[in-house]
Amino acid sequence: MAGQVEIRRTTYGIPHIRAENIRAAGFALGYVQAEDHGERVVRGLARSRGELSLHFGADSADVDAASRRRLRRAQDTYDSLERDTRDVLAGFAEGVNRYIELHPEGFPEWMRLRFTGHDVHALGVTSADTAAARRLAVRIETGQDGPPVLGRDPDEGSNAWALAPSRTRSGNAILLRNPHLAWTAGYYEAHLTVPGKLNFYGDFRVGSPIGIIGGFNEHLGWATTNNAVDSDELYVLDADPNRPDRYLFDGSSMPLGREVVTVPYRANGVVGQVRREFWSTPLGPVVHRTPQRIYVVKAAEEGEYRAAEQFLRMMKSKSLAQWRDAMRMQARSSSNFTYADARGNIFYIWNATLPVLPHAPGGDTTAIPARRSSDVWTRLVPFDSLPQLLNPRSGYLHNENDSPHYTNLDQVLDASRYPANHEQPMLGLRSQLGLELLQSQKQYTLEELIRLKHSPRMLLADRVKAELIVAVRGSAPDAETLRAVELIDRWDNTTAPESRGGVLFESWWRRYMNQAGSNAFREPWTPQKPTTTPRGLA
């Protein structure tokens, strides 16, 4: 298959792949990823088939047991994928295998493995977050908090802007992507070309051929930013008091499903086996049990396996209509998507696999009693009913990981139109600055828009610095503190490299936030003043 591909790298090392067919494109992508991130790629694939315990001992058994269940799901669904999707997955495995075969010295002995398309497919099979659901169930039962659940880092995610032709000097739409991700996040920039079939430039996930967060072809492009999707519900069932391992539902006693997964392990030269037990219902996996109650999480993403297929369709799309048809698969469970195309369309959607609930959402505090089928959600909000904007009158779209309501200030999305389990209105300071920069009617060149995106202005300083200076000066500061406040006073409220005072201000702010928490501002953010709050110091 190597004879069917050409790989050229830029001076930055970015691979540009030209392949005779889709399978060869997958082969080349697997090869270059193994060349650049060999051990990371192999470790992920070994994990996908539940074999870490053979190399790291029985401590990895829980991970391996869950992986073996996903692998079985991948094996069961593989043949239902479209031919092109299967070809990419199989080709990727063959490319990784080929690189290991040619460069065994680059890998520890245990990593000199051979993989299949099933192993690659298993990476894309998703499941419920049973750990979070279990923590909630235990807290409900015992009143004791488990390990803290980390919230979303406001600095993590991405920025995405789209300008219509009416807002650009060239008369073409412009899409600007600015991922905010750690260097170690595992994204991989590449260009894939299969003449007549595919011409896509974007970022892939390391270890996967079609884990896309954004990119473009000659017709269209898209960017993703983080959103907050509540795609699951914790239900509590009544245990059958007279028959073990059964529950009462729809007036009948129903058996729990039980699956035992055997995991082989190797430790200190000894090979053994451990078993892990999984209990389930048709609603979803069991996460906690007491003699009286059985807690089950019903998650929209449980068992989903078609994300690679959806992304490949998006990569090959030639129009907004085709791209939206691919998105209607709803195999991707989250993310804001911001889109632009060569025909001048700009489009935004708050993408989610969002359940249509027959009850109030439980959120992260409540388990919903379920005694009959009508108590439980059974369908998702259709793609076309999710919050979205197409070609807004003022010619811009933006998202910086906040809710969809203020994607365009001239067409604010009414929160009352959406159900209670939808993301609630919020507009952070990063988003507010983006809106302030885009809200004018100016027409931009590409270069001007890039400069605008790199604006070093810190809106937080505009909102609180003056009150900070007054408060410190009124506190009889010592000489060192006075020098610090004078430095901040002279600071120009930007993060430009030559701008002195910004690091000191940010250091102070982080300490202040650790003490003040949610009460940091004199005037907190409100939907009534979305672009001028929060402000002042509490």
259 and 405 housed in the same domain: no
Q: Let me know: does 207 contact 32? Beta carbons within 8 Å.
A: no
Distances in Å between the alpha carbon of 115 and those of 95, 111, 122, 508?
10, 11, 11, 51
Q: Is residue 366 part of a domain?
A: no
Amino acid at 530: P
- Looking at residue 465, which CATH number applies to its domain? 1.10.1400.10
Residue 248: partners with Cβ closer than 8 Å, 6 or more residues away: 237, 238, 239, 240, 254, 371
Q: Is residue 317 part of a domain?
A: yes
Q: Going by DSSP bridges, is the β-strand pair 346-350/388-390 parallel, antiparallel, or unpaired?
A: antiparallel
223 and 331 housed in the same domain: yes
Best CA proximity match to 387, nearest among 425, 357, 358, 439 = 425
Q: Going by DSSP bridges, is the β-strand pair 214-216/198-205 parallel, antiparallel, or unpaired?
A: antiparallel
Residue 283 token pair: 């609603």
* Beta bridge partner(s), residue 18: 6, 193
Residue 107: partners with Cβ closer than 8 Å, 6 or more residues away: 38, 39, 42, 100
347 and 237 housed in the same domain: no
What is the rounded distance in angstroms from the CA atom of residue 207 to the CA atom of residue 228?
25
CB atoms near residue 414 (< 10 Å): 9
- Find out whether the peptide bond into 534 is cis, omega within 30 degrees of 0: yes
DSSP 213-240: SEEE-SSEEEEEE------EEEEEEEEP
Q: Is residue 240 part of a domain?
A: yes
Q: Which of 299, 324, 340 is the last residue of a domain?
A: 299
Residue 505: partners with Cβ closer than 8 Å, 6 or more residues away: 458, 461, 465, 488, 491
Q: Is residue 258 part of a domain?
A: yes
Residue 70 token pair: 């996903």
Q: Which of 278, 299, 320 is the last residue of a domain?
A: 299
Q: Is residue 187 part of a domain?
A: yes
293 and 313 housed in the same domain: no
498 and 531 housed in the same domain: yes
- Total domains present in the chain: 4
169 and 219 housed in the same domain: yes
Distances in Å between the alpha carbon of 28 and those of 14, 20, 93, 100, 309?
13, 11, 10, 13, 19
Q: Let me know: does 353 contact 330? Beta carbons within 8 Å.
A: yes
Q: Is residue 364 part of a domain?
A: no
Amino acid at 390: L
443 and 340 housed in the same domain: yes
479 and 529 housed in the same domain: yes
Q: Give the CB-side neighbour count of residue 105, counting CA atoms within 13 A.
A: 0
DSSP 472-488: HHTT---HHHHHHHHHH
**Coil, strand, or helix at residue 347?**
strand
What is the rounded distance in angstroms from the CA atom of residue 252 to the CA atom of residue 121?
38
pLDDT of 153 reads 58
- Looking at residue 289, which CATH number applies to its domain? 2.30.120.10
pLDDT of 150 reads 47
- Looking at residue 56, which CATH number applies to its domain? 1.10.439.10
- State which H helix or E strand residue 112 sits in: none
Q: For residue 143, give its domain range.
A: 130-149+232-299
What is the rounded distance in angstroms from the CA atom of residue 286 to the CA atom of residue 172?
52
- Looking at residue 162, which CATH number applies to its domain? 3.60.20.10
Residue 281 token pair: 């219902």
Q: Is residue 362 part of a domain?
A: no
Q: Is residue 212 part of a domain?
A: yes
251 and 316 housed in the same domain: no
What is the rounded distance in angstroms from the CA atom of residue 32 to the CA atom of residue 34?
5
pTM of the prediction?
Answer: 0.94
Q: Let me know: does 287 contact 272? Beta carbons within 8 Å.
A: no
What is the rounded distance in angstroms from the CA atom of residue 52 to the CA atom of residue 65?
10
389 and 478 housed in the same domain: no
Q: Which of 418, 447, 476 is the last residue of a domain?
A: 447
Q: In the block, which residue shows the tokens 């529950």?
A: 247
pLDDT, one tens digit for every residue, the chain (538 residues): 899 999 999 999 999 999 999 999 999 999 999 999 999 999 999 999 999 999 999 999 999 999 999 999 999 999 999 999 999 999 999 999 999 999 999 999 999 999 999 999 999 999 999 999 999 999 999 987 655 544 555 556 699 999 999 999 999 999 999 988 888 889 999 999 999 999 999 999 999 998 888 999 999 999 999 999 999 999 999 999 999 999 999 999 999 999 999 999 999 889 999 999 999 999 999 999 999 999 999 999 999 999 999 999 999 999 999 999 999 999 999 999 999 999 999 999 999 999 999 999 999 999 999 999 999 999 999 999 999 999 999 999 999 999 999 999 999 999 999 999 999 999 999 999 999 999 888 999 999 999 999 999 999 999 999 999 999 999 999 999 999 999 999 999 999 999 999 999 999 999 999 999 889 999 999 999 999 999 999 9
Amino acid at 90: A
What is the rounded distance in angstroms from the CA atom of residue 481 to the CA atom of residue 523?
26
115 and 45 housed in the same domain: yes
143 and 161 housed in the same domain: no
